[in-house]
Chain A
Amino acid sequence: MRPDGARERPDAATGGRERPDAGSARADGGDPLLAVEGLTTVFHTDKETIRAVDDVSFVVRAGETLGIVGESGSGKSVTARSVLGLIDTPGVIEAGSIRFRGEELTGGNWDAHRGDVSIVFQDPSNSLNPVYTVGNQIRETLRIHQGLRGRAAREEAVRLLEAVGIPDARRRISEYPHQFSGGMRQRAVIAVALACDPDLLVCDEPTTALDVTIQAQILELLGRLQREEDLAIVFITHDMGVIEETADRVNVMYAGEIVESAPVDALFESPQHPYTRGLLASIPGRTVSGDRLPTIGGEVPTPTTEPAECRFAERCPDAFDACERVHPEAVRVGPDHTAACLLHEEAYEHEDGPSRRSADGRGDPTDGADAATDGGGLG
């Protein structure tokens, strides 16, 4: 089940445990729309090899929204780009498989499915070409993916712009991106993404650059498109509020790995991984104003070696000794709910709960630089 098969784990942790991700993929009957297994994407730099995505597995079923959430540097975007085959040197997909409708995409087979999977990036002004009209850019996609030309392409482009809620589309289509407002530009980008009639839309922080009112419009639009066109969506964001509104299931990523995966309600009601709990707690709206915000000390580490420990251990308020020796595997903690944390591994359960490493509910800052980012500067 592990394509690389190279990693060794202590026997105590293995215990014949099944990989719940793969299990749920099978339970679906036929092939899921997208099945990612053991995906490992690394970037080779002069200094080191960065394991941006490290042994990640998930499935996306037709018509559902999978949310991927995490801080910057957690590997969300690299996961998205890997799925679309957009990894360039020095990056390389080192291991794992990405199957779309059962067909393997890795190894250069993306071209067979170009257009089935489409992506919307964060910054709409960078994803449109400023020297072509919006209509031109939609028509280009229509020509490449659907073979439409001339009047047919123009009519379809107008229809797409109307579908993404741009009023007066027939006139707007001959305008340039700079004549569009930010929200309209993102709508136009979505129109371009839809022009290849995809089954799966990957949205990489599509509303992060937008105002909350415009964000609400775009989220509404994506929801409507999903219903109308039976689109599956992979929604990547760092905003827990957005995830809560859009996703059916959520993967929480940390330092290249999925640390928790759950249906959205279960994740928000009972987060099982200490990192997820920390992430949810640090949202300002959840704390009474005037109180200090709970924080997670330290920074997301850059993973450069295969994990032999829990990558979150250094910042984890619940870490105990074994966390630095054992790499936790995803463990089933509820229906369709997994967490990769030793707290949930029976072999490590203590009679009186895990021994807290630090009493103040915070990972020990290990060096000066950590202390500096730790937020406790005022003593």
Chain B
Amino acid sequence: MSRSDAPTERDEGEESDDGSRSAAGGAGSAAPDPHADDAIVEVRDLRTYYDDDGFLGDDPVKAVDGVSFDIRRGETLGLVGESGCGKTTLGRTVLGLEEATGGEVVSEGRDVASLSGRELREWQRDAQMVFQDPEASLNDRMTVGEIVREPLDAHDWGTPGERRDRVFELLDLVGLIEEHYYRYPHQFSGGQRQRVGIARALALEPEFLVLDEPVSALDVSVQARVINLLEDLQDELGLTYLFIAHDLSVVRHIADRVAVMYLGDVVELGETEAVYADPAHPYTRSLLSAIPGSHTGTDRDRVTLRGTPPSPRDPPEGCRFATRCPAKIRPDEFAHLSGTAWERLDALHTVFRERTNAETGIAERLKRRLGLAVAADDIDEVVADLFGWHPGGGSTAEGLGPDEPLLSGEARAAVESAVNAARRGDDAEATAILTDAFGSVCDERRPEEHRVGDDGRTSACVRHDSGYESPGTVMARRYGRGDD
């Protein structure tokens, strides 16, 4: 794991600190590690929680909650997921910009979180970040030259003259010209500003870059040029990228492997083309099916996920995705229920969950403490809408709800008891009753990572256990034709 496989040194200034670099490389190779040939960064059971110490003692936000993966030297690892799933936090924690709550990020045999002094400086030099918004990440009062030079100054790189030459070289590298040295960020277009951000990140010749939505703020034609630039730079300098994006087409183009995140968890990770061609995890399937347009190369039926991810303060206990999962395992005793009935049950479940988590005023909290009924009418209406009967005994308004009651027997009894709890204002109890009655193994335990396929792909879904139908089969049956 010596640095000899690093890109060719390109200038005199580089040589000056070459000594310290190989020293660090030597320290790294001393620690035996099975992945050492391969991995530039190893993330192990990483957790990052944000605790706002609110006086009401809220749970912490579990932005990243137990994530493990490797980033291989020279690859581009794409990281995709909806906003709020923890992509950015994960990227920042990997770089040590956020403090990890648990787990570790290991690079060259060192735990990044525990670095200090010279080693920390080395890590900060070797790993850099490019931010999403080029408007916000460049200081408007500094010229582009100063912006790109700042990391060199901070790390006492070479002599002032060498730094200056290095900046010109960097500007040239990212396709800017000498005159731009003296200009201010506001004189640049979005694409050019992102180039400045990239030049700054490259100043200290890092090996590893975290790119946080680097092209999201750009128009498609400018975006294409920046993507080409990033790919050229990677080839020329042997860089490793962690490429965070919500644009799935961009990730498909640029990433060698892709990790799909949902609510703080990596649910699927594998070779990009294989994942896009045949996603294993139900979330990946749904996410990819939502890409608009015909150029996506996926001809699966669209599965539109309902609602939004649950709050990371209070993630589901079992599988994180269970509350929205289109392939969720359903208990045998209710196998006879129709797809519509399940859809409505899920909707009711979501209503209770959201009510439980709703920010309530002090007055309402007090009322609840005192056991006063809150909003009983509202819940009656929701039930009437969804299932066609009125828990309060009133008749359903015309045109509301389905023509026939969707539920009967045990199912209806369970819903009624949940609704009664909700009428008392105890939404948490209502949620629990529904989970009890209609939940399954998906709600009980967090699925382990399963190896799927023979290309090292992992997917964390209970359905990969033998004895269950695969997610693809189930989704195809429940939501149209599918491709299986």
On chain B, the number of residues with a Cβ less than 8 Å from chain A's Cβ atoms is: 69
Q: Tell whether, in the assembled complex, residue A285 and residue B177 are in contact, meaning their CB atoms are under 8 Å apart.
A: no
Interface string of B338-354 (1 = CB under 8 A from A): 00000000010011001
The distance in angstroms between the C-alpha atoms of A100 and B34, with both chains bound, is 71
Report if A215-B290 is in contact (Cβ < 8 Å); known contacts: A167-B350, A377-B174, A378-B175.
Answer: yes
The distance in angstroms between the C-alpha atoms of A293 and B173, with both chains bound, is 19
Pick the interface stretch among B41-49, B95-103, B205-213, B224-232: B224-232
Distance in Å from the Cβ of A206 to the closest Cβ of chain B?
13
Distance in Å from the Cβ of A155 to the closest Cβ of chain B?
10
* Interface assignment of B24: CB less than 8 Å from any CB of chain A: no
Pick the interface stretch among B54-62, B377-385, B444-452: B377-385
Contact residues on A (Cβ < 8 Å of other chain), bracket: 35 or more
Residue of A nearest to B272 (CB): A289
Choose from B83, B176, B228 the contact partner of A295 (Cβ within 8 Å). B228
* Interface assignment of B411: CB less than 8 Å from any CB of chain A: no
Chain A interface, >50% SS class: helix
The distance in angstroms between the C-alpha atoms of A29 and B191, with both chains bound, is 47
Interface string of A286-309 (1 = CB under 8 A from B): 110100111110010000000000
Q: Tell whether, in the assembled complex, residue B176 and residue A377 are in contact, meaning their CB atoms are under 8 Å apart.
A: yes
* Interface assignment of A238: CB less than 8 Å from any CB of chain B: yes
Interface string of B350-378 (1 = CB under 8 A from A): 11001100110000000000000001011
Report if A289-B220 is in contact (Cβ < 8 Å); known contacts: A212-B248, A377-B172, A378-B236.
Answer: no
Q: Tell whether, in the assembled complex, residue B219 and residue A72 are in contact, meaning their CB atoms are under 8 Å apart.
A: yes
The distance in angstroms between the C-alpha atoms of A323 and B358, with both chains bound, is 60
- In the assembled complex, which residues on chain A have CB atoms less than 8 Å from the CB atom of B347? 167
Q: Tell whether, in the assembled complex, residue B224 and residue A295 are in contact, meaning their CB atoms are under 8 Å apart.
A: yes
Pick the interface stretch among A57-65, A175-183, A189-197: A175-183
* Interface assignment of A107: CB less than 8 Å from any CB of chain B: no
Choose from B176, B253, B351, B358 the contact partner of A289 (Cβ within 8 Å). B253
* Interface assignment of B293: CB less than 8 Å from any CB of chain A: yes
Pick the interface stretch among A83-91, A133-141, A368-376: A368-376
Distance in Å from the Cβ of B294 to the closest Cβ of chain A?
6
- In the assembled complex, which residues on chain A have CB atoms less than 8 Å from the CB atom of B189? 299, 373
The distance in angstroms between the C-alpha atoms of A183 and B305, with both chains bound, is 12
Interface contacts (Cβ under 8 Å), in number, total 180
The distance in angstroms between the C-alpha atoms of A175 and B176, with both chains bound, is 49
Distance in Å from the Cβ of B302 to the closest Cβ of chain A?
7
The distance in angstroms between the C-alpha atoms of A280 and B297, with both chains bound, is 15
Interface string of A344-379 (1 = CB under 8 A from B): 000000000000000000000000110111111110
Q: Tell whether, in the assembled complex, residue B225 and residue A375 are in contact, meaning their CB atoms are under 8 Å apart.
A: yes
The distance in angstroms between the C-alpha atoms of A182 and B378, with both chains bound, is 23
The distance in angstroms between the C-alpha atoms of A183 and B309, with both chains bound, is 11
Q: Tell whether, in the assembled complex, residue B375 and residue A292 are in contact, meaning their CB atoms are under 8 Å apart.
A: no
- In the assembled complex, which residues on chain A have CB atoms less than 8 Å from the CB atom of B83? 182, 211
* Interface assignment of B287: CB less than 8 Å from any CB of chain A: yes
Q: Tell whether, in the assembled complex, residue B250 and residue A284 are in contact, meaning their CB atoms are under 8 Å apart.
A: yes
Report if A168-B382 is in contact (Cβ < 8 Å); known contacts: A212-B290, A289-B272.
Answer: yes
Report if A211-B246 is in contact (Cβ < 8 Å); known contacts: A219-B292, A372-B176.
Answer: yes
Residue of B nearest to A180 (CB): B308
The distance in angstroms between the C-alpha atoms of A287 and B273, with both chains bound, is 13
Which A-B residue pairs are the 3 nearest by beta carbons? A377-B175, A241-B293, A375-B225
A interface residues, Cβ below 8 angstroms from B: 71-72, 162, 167-168, 170-171, 175, 179, 181-184, 211-217, 219-220, 238-245, 268, 278-279, 282-287, 289, 292-296, 299, 368-369, 371-378
**18 A–B pairs (Cβ distance < 8 Å), ordered by A:** A71-B219, A167-B347, A167-B351, A171-B358, A171-B375, A212-B82, A212-B292, A213-B287, A244-B294, A268-B294, A282-B221, A284-B253, A285-B252, A285-B295, A293-B225, A368-B177, A372-B176, A375-B224
* 9 extra interface residue pairs, beta carbon distance < 8 Å, beyond A241-B291, A377-B175: A71-B221, A72-B219, A212-B82, A216-B305, A285-B252, A371-B177, A372-B195, A378-B173, A378-B229
